[in-house]
Every structure is written in C-alpha cells, then in structure tokens.
Amino acid sequence: MSGTLLLGVVIGAQGVRGEVKVKTFTADPESLGDYGPLQDAGATKTYPLKVLRLSKGDVVIARIKGVEDRNAAEAMKGTELYIQRSALPQAGDGEFYFADLVGLTAVMSGRVLGRVTAVHNYGAGDMLEVKTDSGRSAMVPFTDDAVPEVDLAAGRVTVEPAFWLGDPGTEEDRKAEAAERAAEQAGE
C-alpha cells in the first residue's frame, strides 16, 4: 500500500480570479479540501485548497492558495493532488481505496487471469482493468456480482466467469470452464 493517495487532478481554470476545476477521486467530491493541504506527486509542493462549489458530477470549483488569476490557474492544469494515506480514514468493510486494488491478482475458478492495472469510471460505474499474461487488457465491472471477493491480504480479486470478457485462455481452460458451467447448471 502506497504512502500517498491521489485525490484529484486540476483539469482547468474557472473564470478570471484564479479558481480551478478539479476532477476528484473522493466518495464525496465536496470533501476534497477537508483533509488538509494536498501535495504534488513528488511531495515537493503543498496546495492549501478550499472547495467553493460542486460543478458537474465529480468536478469541483476550488481556490488554491497562491493562485490569484486565470494564468496561474491555467498553469495548474494537469497537476495531480495527493494526500498522505495517514490523513484519510480507514476503509470500512467492503470499502477499498482504488490504489489498493491496483496490482492485485485477478482469479477465476482458481485460474489466474492477470493483474489489476487500473480502476476506471467512465460514468456508468467503476471498472477494473485486468492485464493478462498475453498482454491484453479486459475490463470487469467492479460490482459485488462481478467481483464477489476482494482479499487484500492474499493480494487477489475473484472474478465471476459471466463477467470475464478478456482473453479466454487456452483451449483446455475453455473446456474446463464450460464443464464447470454445465455442472453448475445441472445442479440448479
């Protein structure tokens, strides 16, 4: 688990008085400023930030101390905003920081599918990106149905076969999965 977590990224300027638009990665976008000053990726600069209002979805309009005009706000575009993990609350049961999911092994029916390389949200819900040994990537919905088990201690997530749309594996793997599905259906 990393020592810092990405909470947001400046995506542009808002108006002429130095306000910035920040895409947040927090459960409550308006809480972005509640954790104290944020920092850049290298922890070389800190950014005291005050959220002014919610914009659209997970974007907030904020003021960063020292950013006084549009030019300074535009210069902030692309700046990633991090916080020390210790400043955040512990994740509860069934809750995860996305950073903790990246790197986990994805398994299905005891077979390794690959590794989680990213967590995305394109507007319809969270998706795990799993890169297979063949180098291909597959997207898996990060829902209780599709990923019924996340075991951080063991370093793995379990993916249900119905939701795996990635590399089907070897012919032997496909036959084993088909036999397993047939056995499950026969037992119903």
What are the Cα distances from residue 43, in Å, to 1, 30, 72, 179?
17, 23, 20, 52
Residues near 94 by Cβ (< 8 Å), separated by ≥ 6? none
Interval 63-76: pLDDT, tens: 999 999 999 999 99
DSSP symbol at 21: E
Tokens found for residue 139? 């997207």
From edge to edge, which strands make up the β-sheet containing 156-158?
137-141, 126-132, 111-121, 105-108, 156-158, 149-151
Residues near 96 by Cβ (< 8 Å), separated by ≥ 6? 150, 152
- Give the 3-state secondary structure of residue 185: helix
Given pLDDT bands bounded at 50, 70 and 90, which one contains residue 97?
confident
Query: Could you please report the per-residue DSSP string of 142-179?
Result: -STTT--EEETTTTEEE--GGG--S----HHHHHHHHH
Question: In terms of pLDDT, which residue wins out, 26 or 159?
Answer: 159
Q: How many degrees, rounded to 5, is the angle at CA 173 between CA 132 and CA 113?
A: 20
Which residue, 87, 88, 52, is CA-closest to 73?
A: 52
Contact 129, 142 (CB under 8 A): no
Given a cut of 70, is residue 43 above it in pLDDT? yes
Give the pLDDT confidence score for residue 1 in this predicted structure: 44
Put simply, whether the predicted model's pTM sits higher than 0.85 gets the answer no
Interval 136-185: pLDDT, tens: 899 999 999 999 999 999 999 999 988 886 655 555 555 665 666 677 77
Average pLDDT for the chain: 87
Give the pLDDT confidence score for residue 42 in this predicted structure: 83
Give the pLDDT confidence score for residue 170 in this predicted structure: 52
Give the pLDDT confidence score for residue 188 in this predicted structure: 59
Give the pLDDT confidence score for residue 51 in this predicted structure: 96
* Owner of token pair 């209780």: 144
